Amino acid sequence: MAESDSPSGSGESTRSVHAGRPPAQPYEPSLPGPTFVSHFHLPGDATGPYTYGREQNPTWTLLEEAISELESPADPTARTTVFASGMAAVSAVLLSQMRAGDTVVLPSDCYQTTRALQQRLESYGATVRLAPTRDDAQRTLLDGARLLWLETPSNPVLDVCDIRRLADAAHAAGALVAVDNSLATPLGQRPLDLGADFSVASGTKALTGHGDLLLGYVTTRDPELAGQIRMWRNTVGAIPGPMEAWLAHRSLATLSLRVDRQAANALELATALADRPEVTGLRHPGLPTDPAHALAAGQMRRFGSVVSFTLPDKEHAERFLSALRITVEATSFGSVQCTAERRARWGGDAVPPGFIRFSVGVEDAADIVADVTRALDAAK
């Protein structure tokens, strides 16, 4: 899918390739290599832009500029801060914005490690309210809140909420809005365009897409909020390594190709699973029969790589996973390789014992469907 909505008129694949890269210079690489440094030469007054390795790094700068272009192509005021992991980015928003006496509204069905911050927040004197993603249920809990945290589609159940509607309601109540955009990526959904104050994501997942690094980021258009997030990173030291940042930037060049292929493959798999009698609770927002499809279609441009479904019980699900041949059993999503897991093995998610989260890769769709079908047959 291509668009022409950036100031330069470039489409999304062009933007993915060129975002954050410096102007071409004779005899120089198009993407400079990683800068490994802990300190810089600082003659006179230390005014920067680079002073110390925990505060800033040229490799981070290029990646942050690239992500900002993808998250907010029509508004150059967006500023991104990259972190060592997705949870470092999540924690930076929640813990930098919340104070004793403040209230945050979290999804009760969001990523379980995000929910695990409830105890930490409450130990600091904050109040945590929880409501499901589906039916915009968090909207009823906004009175007096400081921050509304959304995750859409939710992980792992794939429910969807109306970002614009909830952001409008939160702002009217005096609350900031953060959206975990890990599953959608900025090519699938742009939370800032839909009214959010923060777009947060685990770059470990589809953004970088090769299952070989940990990364997180926060993007905002508000300079004061951007400064608070950057100060938090500097204070707690949750910084990415320069090699990870460079690998992430390199991986962005194929982002459009990857997410297009994965979304198409995920829809093919979901369609095939709809005909299996042992499969219940099938979810993928791109499936026309999915209960969230109409809402997702109104705010998403791609529906992501994840398909979730439930098999009759734990033993059935384990037999299925063991019979897969081109799919790795792993607790992540968004990789170029298919991965799947029985999500209930971790605890913490309100899902049945046979619940499967399946992340579809870029393999040939026919091979993915054949592998899953054969494994389902073997698991009977």
Domain boundaries, given as residue ranges, for the chain: 12-252, 255-379
Nearest to 165 by CA among 200, 135, 199, 201: 135
Report, in this order, helix, strand and coil percent for the chain, each rounded to 5.
Answer: 40, 15, 45
Helix-helix angle 58-71:242-252, to 10 degrees:
30
Question: Measuring CA to CA, which residue among 213, 183, 223 is closest to residue 201?
Answer: 183
Token pair listed for 311: 């098999």
Residue-wise DSSP of 49-92 = S--BTTT--HHHHHHHHHHHHHH-TT-TT-EEEEESSHHHHHHH
* Cβ burial 128-154 (10 Å sphere, 16+ → b, else e): bbbbbbbebbbbebbeebbbbbbbbbb
Name 243's Cβ contacts closer than 8 Å, sequence gap at least 6.
Answer: 34, 36
What tokens appear for 125 in the block? 């004197």
Segment (H or E) for 150: strand 147-151
Residue 165 buriedness (CB in 10 A; 0-12 / 13-18 / 19+): middle
Phi, psi (deg, nearest 5) at residue 223? -60, -35
Check residue 4 and give its pLDDT.
39
Comparing CA positions, the residue from 257, 216, 261 lying closest to residue 360 is 261
Tell me, what's the pLDDT at 7? 40
Q: Tell the burial category of 313 from Cβ atoms under 10 Å away from its Cβ (0-12, 13-18, 19+).
A: exposed
> Can you count the helices (H) and strands (E) in the chain?
12, 12
What pLDDT does 6 receive?
A: 44
Domain at 12-252, CATH from 3.40.50.11540, 3.40.50.300, 3.90.1150.10, 3.40.640.10: 3.40.640.10
- Do the Cβ atoms of 107 and 154 come closer than 8 Å? yes
What averages of pLDDT result for each successive group of 10 residues across the chain (380 residues)? Answer: 45 94 94 95 89 96 98 96 98 97 97 95 97 98 98 97 98 98 98 98 97 97 98 97 98 98 98 97 98 98 98 98 97 96 91 98 98 97
Q: Is 193 in contact with 179 (CB distance < 8 Å)?
A: no
Amino acid at 40: F
Q: Which two tokens stand for residue 355?
A: 């619940």
Which fold would CATH assign to domain 255-379?
Aspartate Aminotransferase, domain 1 (3.90.1150)
Q: What is the pTM of this model?
A: 0.95
| Of residues 156, 363, 356, the one with CA closest to residue 273 | 356
Contact criterion met (CB below 8 Å) for 353 and 226: no
Position 104, amino acid: V
Q: Is 118 exposed, middle or buried (0-12, 13-18, 19+ CB in 10 A)?
A: middle
Q: Which helix (H) or strand (E) holds 97?
A: helix 86-97
